[in-house]
């Protein structure tokens, strides 16, 4: 499976008729000729690192929020 960059595809082959059949034919022709601009897709290791970083970010936000709530409850009423 190939994921094409839509902006580059539009620059290479501007669409004259906006139908799925015409678009599919254009993409097939570009792919067959080797001109289909693909986007970068991360490998499995990069995806795993992204998920880990996102999860760490969530945990840090939760921890900071609980610390703030805890400190608010310890304050004396004014």
The structural domains of the chain, with segments of one domain joined by +, span 1-40, 42-78
Cα distance between residue 35 and residue 48, in whole Å? 31
pLDDT given at position 53 = 97
pLDDT given at position 43 = 94
pTM: 0.49
Judge contact between 24 and 6, C-beta under 8 A: no
Judge contact between 7 and 39, C-beta under 8 A: no
> What are the tens digits of pLDDT across the range 19-76?
888 888 888 988 899 888 888 889 999 999 999 999 999 999 888 877 666 666 666 6
Interior CA angle at 57 toward 52 and 61, to 5°? Answer: 150
For the chain, the C-alpha Rg in angstroms (whole number) is 24
pLDDT given at position 57 = 94
């Amino acid at each position: 499976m190939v994921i094409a960059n839509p902006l580059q595809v539009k620059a290479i082959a501007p669409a004259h008729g906006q139908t799925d059949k015409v678009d599919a034919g254009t993409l097939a022709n570009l792919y067959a000729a080797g001109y289909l601009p693909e986007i970068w897709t991360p490998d499995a290791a990069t995806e795993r690192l992204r998920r880990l970083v996102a999860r760490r970010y969530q945990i840090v936000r939760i921890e900071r929020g609980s610390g703030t709530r805890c400190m608010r409850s310890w304050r004396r009423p004014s």
